[in-house]
Amino acid sequence: MEPKASQLSSTVAAVAVAVTVAAAMMGSSDAHEFYVGGRDGWVENPSESFDQWAGRNRFQVNDSLVFRYEMEDSVLVVTEADYRACNTSNPLWKLHGGHSVFRLTRSGPFFFISGAAGRCERGQKLVVVVLSVRGPRRGAAAPPPLAPAPPPLGFAPYGAPPPSMLQPPTAPPAFTAAGGPAEGEPPSPVSGCSAGATLSMAAVAMFGGVAAFLL
């Protein structure tokens, strides 16, 4: 029993790893990069305020922020209290080098301020709020309505007359063949029976065709 239990544990572990990798790949495939400040980048006086820039974007988990800034500047990730006070002495993370990428690994707010003296007080700071649930970027189209099911075979559609009310079409007039009885002369009993049988067979065949068409 122990080898089977060990094999089962290994299989479960392998499946868990595969699911984790697949989830990571799905999350990263839908991730987006946002260039902070647009064309201006992480500067002191951008043409569009950082609050306006953040307000027109939608941030989700695994998205990334790209900071482009001067070499003497930096980006500090801080708490909300330090963000409000523009406190640069106790950052959670410090990004420097002129070009930095910060990945949004959780939902909730992130607070950024400039590491250069006096720039945070002059408005070089940013708040980004990450959505808690990753959903579609655009509304999904509703599926088309299902077509009504056809009526079961053997039942006539609503409003159709019953088969007993259907009358076969009138038989075409018979033409007198050469050598037949003259006009006005009554036919013999044999020829009259044959004609009646022929008309009956034609009526049955045509009635059957109409009934099959309706079914």
3-state secondary structure (DSSP) of residue 59: strand
Counting every residue, how long is the chain?
215
pLDDT, tens digit (0-9, with 9 covering 90-100), for 71-120: 999 999 999 999 999 999 999 999 999 999 999 999 999 999 999 999 99
Give Cβ neighbours of residue 54 (< 8 Å, ≥ 6 apart). Answer: 126, 127, 128, 129
CA-to-CA dists, residue 26 to 20, 22, 132, 191, angstroms: 10, 6, 16, 86
pTM > 0.85: yes or no: no
pLDDT, tens digit (0-9, with 9 covering 90-100), for 117-176: 999 999 999 999 999 865 555 444 455 555 555 555 554 555 555 555 545 555 554 444
Superfamily of domain 30-130: Cupredoxins -  blue copper proteins (2.60.40.420)
Answer whether 150's CB lies under 8 Å from 167's CB. Answer: no
**In whole angstroms, what is the distance from residue 206 CA to residue 215 CA?**
14
Q: Nearest CA to 74 among 49, 46, 47, 44?
A: 44
